[in-house]
Structure 1
Amino acid sequence: MPARRPMMDGSDSPMDVAYIRRWREDITACLDRLLPGFEVRFGYPPGRHTIGGPAGEEELASLAGMRPPDDLLAWYRQVREVSLPDVGNGYFIHDPGLVLHREVTSIRGRFTADVVVFASDGGGTLFAVEAVTGSPVYRLPAGEIVAGVYRSDDPRFDVVAENLTGFLDRLRDAVEVFAATGAPGDL
C-alpha cells in the first residue's frame, strides 16, 4: 500500500466541505491546463469532464440500506459525480443511483469485507470503500462476481488508500500528473 499522504489541510479529520471545495478547485485547475490544448496534444477531442453538484436528498436516502460510510455521504452532499474520461483510461466517481445498483456488495479472498463500490476507471477496475467504517478503499480489477461477492487472484486487487480522502488525494495526484506529462498517474 502506498504511504499515506497527509490530507490537504494537514489534519486527520473526516472529510468536510472545505476539503471537498479545495479538491474541486485543484481538479478544475488541472482540467483548465489540460483541456485547451488537448486535441493538438493527443490527436482527438476531449470528452466531457465534469464535477457535478450535490446529490439530492432522495438519492442520498436511497443509499441507506447499503450502509455507506459517513465520508461518502459527506462527499455526495457536495459532489454527486465526477467524470474524467480522458485522464489516463478515465476515472469516474459514480452518482448515488449507479452506486445503488452495483453488483458487488462484498469481497472475499485476500481481503474480506462488505463494501460500497463508488468509482471505476475506464479499464474495468472498480474502487470500493468498506461499508460503514469507510476504511480502507480497495482496487478491484476484473474478477469473479457471484451473488454480489467479488473474488480475484489478481495482484492488483489491493488496498489503494486508507480512506476516501486518501483515495481522492491519489486521484487528484493522478490528474495532476496527467495534466503535466500526458502520462497516466498511478491509482
Structure 2
Amino acid sequence: MDVAYIGRWREDVTACVDQLLPGFEVRFGYPPGRHTIGGPAGEEELASLADMRPPGDLLGWYRQVREVSLPDIGNGYFIHDPGLVMYREVTTVRGRLTADVVVFASDGGGGLFAVEAGAGAPVYRLPAGEVVAGVYRSDDPRFDVVAENLTGFLDRLRDAVEVFAATGAAGDL
C-alpha cells in the first residue's frame, strides 16, 4: 500500500468531512458523531494479526492508519483497528463465493467487509448471514465482491464520503 496514496486518501476524506460537519445538525436534525482517521497502528498490534494471514496492503494501511470512524456517512462506515480485527468471528466465507478472509470493516447497518486472506484481493461485502464456527454462509445477492482489492474499496469509500458530503445521500458501497 503506497504511503502517498494513503496520505491523499486521508486528505480527501478529511476535506469532505470538514465540509459536511458545519451545519450538520441543522441539515439532518441531530448532532454529528465523532469522525476520525487515526494514526498508525503499533508493531504489537500488527504482529497480533500474523495468524490471520492479512494481505500486505492491509498491513501497509495499518502502518499508516489504525482505524477510521465515519458514523454519519450514510449508516456509517468503520475500518476497524487491528485489535478488533483479530477477534472477528468470521474467518471463511461460503455460499455464492468461497474464500478465507480477514474482516476489517463494517457499515452501520450490520454489514461487514472482508478482504481475502493472503492474496489481498478481492474485498467482499457480507450482509447479515449465518456464522457457525467462523464460517459465514449466505446466498444473499448482496454477498458479493465490492472491490477488486483494498485500494478499490478505499476509493469507493472515499467516493461515498464525497457524495454524502455534497448531497446528503448515501453513496453506493
Q: What's the TM-score once normalised by structure 1's chain length?
A: 0.92
Match of 1:95 among 71, 75, 81: 81
Write out per-residue CA displacement over residues 113-149 of structure 1, whole angstroms, 9 at most, x where no aligned residue. 0000000000000000000100000000000000000
1:89-128 → structure 2 map (5 Å cutoff) = 89-128=75-114
Distance (Å, rounded) in 1 between the aligned partners of 2:155 and 2:31: 27
Q: Let me know the Cα RMSD of the aligned residues.
A: 0.4
Aligned to 2:45: 59
1:159-170 → structure 2 map (5 Å cutoff) = 159-170=145-156
Give the number of aligned pairs: 173
Write out per-residue CA displacement over residues 136-186 of structure 1, whole angstroms, 9 at most, x where no aligned residue. 000000000000000011110000000000000000000000000000000
Aligned partner of residue 61 in structure 1, secondary structure: helix
Q: Which runs of 5+ in 2 are unaligned?
A: none
Distance (Å, rounded) in 2 between the aligned partners of 1:32 and 1:89: 18
Aligned to 1:33: 19
- Name segments (4+ residues, structure 1) moved above 2 Å: none
Distance (Å, rounded) in 2 between the aligned partners of 1:79 and 1:184: 24
Write out per-residue CA displacement over residues 12-48 of structure 1, whole angstroms, 9 at most, x where no aligned residue. xxx2100000000000000010001101100110000
Distance (Å, rounded) in 1 between the aligned partners of 2:103 and 2:22: 32
1:40-79 → structure 2 map (5 Å cutoff) = 40-79=26-65
Q: Which runs of 5+ in 1 are unaligned?
A: 1-14
Distance (Å, rounded) in 2 between the aligned partners of 1:154 and 1:113: 16
